[in-house]
Amino acid sequence: MKTGIALIGFMGTGKTAIGRLLAEKLGKSFIEMDAEIEKKACKPVAAIFREDGEACFRKMEAQITIDISTQKSTVVACGGGIVLDKANIFRLKQEYVIVCLSAAPGDILKRISGEQGKRPLLDVADKGKRIRELLKTRRPLYEQAADITIETSGIDPPGVAQRIIDILSKYESQD
């Protein structure tokens, strides 16, 4: 049986907050992939994108995925772009159930609006338009990668965490 949970989904769907709660409730370790990348690079994600380029960030993301792919009993909050490379998902699937968090574009916009400079891909004038464009190309990738998808709009992080626990306990009993 898989002992880990990997949270995937678009920026602003609550992966980090929900991942932390899930790990606490289930007594598992918690890893935030972006934080691991920042530790390795000794600079924030936005600076990696600016100074080294997105391709360099994606290489680091792939390396962290390899590093954690066989780690047991861990909840990992992945960066929103983890699905861009199918190899990442293939590796995570060894030990992790893949749970996708989804949210309406308007909710995503509300959640990320107060966080200036943190998400380089949304550092544009018309954030709503960029969110809709990226979602169009990413949605099929999230759908393909996910074992389970949870709609988060209108539910607070503890509610989403509990919903994941409930669904996973059913999912595991069918295993």
Q: How far is the CB of 87 from ligand S3P (least distance, A)?
A: 16
Residues that bind ligand S3P (CB under 6 A): 11, 15, 34, 45, 79-81, 119-121
CB of 1 to ligand S3P, least distance (A): 27
Work out how close the CB of 172 gets to ligand S3P at its nearest, in angstroms, rounded to a whole number: 26
Assess contact for 62 and 78: CB atoms under 8 A.
no
- Chain centroid to CA 105: 16
Contact, 14 vs 106, CB < 8 A?
Answer: no
Q: How far apart, in whole angstroms, are the C-alpha atoms of residue 142 and residue 63?
A: 20
Residue 174: CB minimum distance to ligand S3P, A: 30
Q: How far is the CB of 99 from ligand S3P (least distance, A)?
A: 14
When the beta carbons of 50 and 72 are compared against ligand S3P, the nearer one is 50
- Other beta carbons less than 10 A from residue 124's beta carbon: 11
Tokens for 175, please give them: 């295993």
The smaller minimum CB distance to ligand S3P, of residues 27 and 132, is found at 132
Question: Distance between CA atoms of 148 and 11, rounded to whole angstroms?
Answer: 18
- Cβ distance to ligand S3P smaller for residue 54 or 151: 54
CB closer to ligand S3P, 23 vs 45:
45
Q: How far is 115 from 5, CA to CA, in rounded Å? A: 26
| Closer by beta carbon to ligand S3P, 18 or else 164 | 18
Q: Hunting for tokens 């699905």 — which residue is that?
A: 83
